């Protein structure tokens, strides 16, 4: 059991605000080390990823893929008659799985004897939490794991728009969708709605999609999605949104006189740390310019008894990072293990259609760091599965290498199953392997992954 300080008896050794991926992991691990743990969650256990983010979104991606694969089936000898799609069936199946995961996460906390408070909690002091019911609870340590929340810019008519929180609950499949933003959330939903037969228009303030990803992959995705029918409006900020009597929406852009007509307007322009009204000022913790909680390398805030992990710190907004930070915090504070989280070579993926993935430095980043002392290897190929589908779309794999040492600095790819292939590749990049190590590996033929060891 964790020792109390200054002879004071706290109600708990750890109180976690937020039962998402990071908060649940920290709670479970701290409890396994003998700590008395409680967690408060105002909505549902599981957090953004499980309840209204990457998991249900990936299920929609899977569902939308059938449109393409059923069309391809005829070329493989299958007869598929009366192909129809029912949005409520897919939507309800996804929401049912969200219910399952909420139960699973709740059971995890229960099985580890973590007490749960299903209500909002705020910080009332360095060692004090106040629940929405008015009850105050003391804890030796407080962990903030409230995640992030979609940003809704201010413009006339913004109340007629939805975010990624609401998109999973649409009553019916819209015929026309306007998506504001061109980051990973925007591009993933653009691919989903396009595959399901909606007319999709992506509107972006700048002329760049997926900022931060390799430029060659971004260009390839743009070409492919335009060929699939997605329209783009670049350098076009929203001016206003107006709702018609029939429920449809007019989207006015910048100085353009004619609006875009839509049934749904999805705003996907980023996510902000969810710290509004959290009461951190009561413990002397000052938020950063984006509303984030500043922390040190161990996740500790300016208050020694308060820590934060995950998206709320605005370091890396990825679920696996939140999980690692939550575990490292619990192991260090309650398990006596000096553990840390490495933010080097974090793999990432965009489940667009087709998907792209990358790890390590992009070509642009490598040139900034190493100048001309890099080599770029690539493979531009037509995936085998596209041949019978009569699709000219081509995959592209890139390997960025330090010319002096032959060490692989980054690998980036676009094409079917790229995220699945990249995970193993990320291990090689993290381990510091060289181009020669890839060349010495026998190709697995026929596969798309073999292109990784055949690049020239």
Q: What's the angle, vertex CA 101, arms to CA 99 and CA 103, rounded to 5?
A: 70
Give 311: exposed, middle or buried? Use CB within 10 Å, 0-12, 13-18, 19+. buried
Picking from 33, 43, 5, 58, the residue whose alpha carbon sits closest to that of residue 113 is: 33
User: Can you read off the two tokens belonging to residue 265?
Assistant: 């307007």
Cα separation, 263 vs 178, whole angstroms: 8
**Alpha-carbon span 400 to 455, nearest angstrom:** 11
Cβ-based neighbours of 353, under 8 Å, separated by 6 or more = 61, 64, 65, 68, 191, 192, 194, 195, 225, 228
Give the contacts of 319 (CB within 8 A, at least 6 positions apart): 21, 49, 53, 54
For residues 364 and 215, is the Cβ–Cβ distance under 8 A? yes
* Structure-derived torsion over alpha carbons of residues 181, 294, 131, 26, reported in degrees to the nearest 10: 90
Instruction: Examine the residue annotation and report whether 160 is marked as an active-site residue of this protein.
Output: no
In whole angstroms, what is the distance from residue 209 CA to residue 349 CA? 14
Contact 317, 159 (CB under 8 A): no
For tokens 């992991």, the residue is 25
Please tell me the distance from the alpha carbon of residue 168 to that of residue 421, in angstroms, as a whole number: 28
29-49: string of b/e by CB count within 10 Å (b at 16+)?
bbbebebbbbbbbebbbbbbb
> Of residues 33, 169, 412, 445, which has the active-site annotation?
445
The count of other CB atoms within 10 Å of the CB of residue 245 is: 5
Residue 409 buriedness (CB in 10 A; 0-12 / 13-18 / 19+): buried
Find residue 349's DSSP bridge partners.
Answer: 357
Q: Kindly list the catalytic residues.
A: 445
């Amino acid at each position: 059991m964790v020792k109390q300080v200054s002879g004071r008896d706290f109600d708990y050794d750890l109180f976690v605000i937020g039962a998402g991926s990071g908060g649940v992991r920290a709670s479970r691990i701290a409890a396994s080390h003998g700590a008395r743990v409680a967690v408060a969650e105002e909505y549902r256990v599981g957090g953004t990823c499980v309840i209204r983010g990457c998991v249900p979104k990936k299920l929609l991606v899977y569902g939308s893929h059938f449109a393409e694969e059923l069309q391809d089936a005829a070329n493989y000898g299958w007869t598929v008659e009366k192909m129809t799609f029912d949005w409520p069936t897919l939507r309800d199946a996804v929401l049912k799985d969200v219910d399952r995961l909420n139960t699973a996460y709740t059971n995890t906390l229960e099985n580890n004897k973590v007490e749960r408070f299903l209500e909002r909690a705020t910080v009332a002091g360095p060692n004090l939490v106040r629940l929405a019911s008015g009850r105050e609870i003391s804890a030796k340590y407080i962990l903030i794991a409230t995640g992030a929340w979609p940003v809704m810019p201010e413009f006339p008519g913004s109340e007629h728009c939805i975010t990624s929180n609401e998109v999973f609950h649409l009553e019916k499949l819209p015929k026309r969708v306007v998506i504001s933003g061109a980051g990973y959330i925007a591009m993933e939903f653009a691919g989903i709605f396009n595959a399901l037969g909606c007319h999709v228009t992506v509107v972006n303030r700048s002329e760049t999609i997926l900022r931060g990803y390799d430029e060659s992959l971004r260009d390839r995705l743009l070409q492919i999605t335009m060929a699939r029918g997605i329209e783009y409006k670049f350098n076009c900020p929203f001016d206003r949104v107006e709702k018609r009597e029939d429920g449809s929406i007019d989207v006015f852009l910048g100085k353009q006189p004619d609006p875009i007509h839509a049934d749904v307007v999805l705003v996907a322009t980023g996510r902000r740390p969810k710290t509004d009204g959290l009461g951190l000022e009561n413990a002397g913790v000052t938020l950063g310019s984006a509303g984030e909680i500043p922390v040190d390398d161990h996740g500790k805030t300016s208050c020694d008894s308060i820590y934060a992990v995950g998206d709320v710190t605005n370091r890396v907004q990825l679920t696996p990072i939140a999980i690692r930070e939550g575990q490292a915090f619990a192991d260090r504070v309650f398990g006596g293990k000096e553990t840390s989280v490495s933010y080097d070579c974090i793999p990432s993926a965009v489940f667009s259609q087709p998907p792209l993935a990358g790890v390590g430095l992009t070509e642009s980043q490598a040139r900034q760091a190493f100048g001309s002392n890099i080599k770029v290897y690539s493979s531009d190929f037509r995936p085998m599965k596209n041949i019978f589908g009569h699709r000219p779309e081509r995959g592209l794999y890139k390997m960025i290498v330090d010319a002096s040492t032959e060490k692989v600095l980054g690998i980036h790819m676009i094409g079917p199953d790229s995220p699945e292939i990249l995970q193993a590749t990320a291990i090689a990049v993290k381990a510091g392997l060289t181009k020669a190590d890839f060349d010495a590996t026998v190709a697995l033929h026929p596969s798309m992954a073999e292109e990784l060891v055949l690049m020239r």
